A = this chain, B = another copy of it.
């Protein structure tokens, strides 16, 4: 008797679905993608996708956060200023690259409109924020003064994203100045 590896099939399905979604994201705007289209590309029943992710926004955000975590692990330079500067420089570079940041495009395309709640999307973003929190906790453990994770999103991520939304390039010097400004207030 063959015992299936626990979670093996689910994990394989997720890998196939994430790969199909990532390939489609490279081809078109996140706002144009449907569950059905992703299901067809992955060769998986759309009903399975709805059962697992609920809606296409949640799925796309999970895909985007997973890629971000894999392709852009948070830096660990041994000092908070170094970590934050390396991280914001990477974000500024990614936002300025041709095609922009896939994460940013999904983040904007799946933004809540009005008062609609999207717990799945918030959970996916929350996983990235936990990694940011871990970076801040390492600094505190070393005896450094560290800002809260919301101060990081309000005063580092927000200006970089705002400028991307506006179409104003944020150069590395700007990213570095944001870090100095934040740390001077911590």
A→B interface (CB under 8 Å): 29, 31, 98-100, 105, 107-108, 111-115, 117-118, 121-122, 125, 153-155, 157-159, 161-167, 178, 181, 185
Contacts and interface: CB of A to CB of B under 8 A. Distances in A.
Contacts of A154: 158-159, 162-163, 178
Judged by DSSP, the binding face of A is helix
Copies of the chain in the assembly:
2
A60 to B, nearest CB: 14
Contact of A114 (B99, B122, B153): B99
9 closest residue pairs by CB, A with B: A158-B162, A158-B158, A154-B159, A112-B167, A99-B114, A111-B165, A100-B114, A158-B159, A98-B115
A111 B108 contact: yes
A166 B122 contact: yes
Contacts of A167: 111-112, 117-118, 121-122
19 contacts: A29-B113, A99-B113, A99-B114, A100-B113, A105-B113, A112-B164, A112-B165, A117-B167, A121-B167, A122-B166, A122-B167, A125-B166, A153-B162, A154-B159, A155-B155, A157-B162, A158-B159, A162-B162, A181-B185
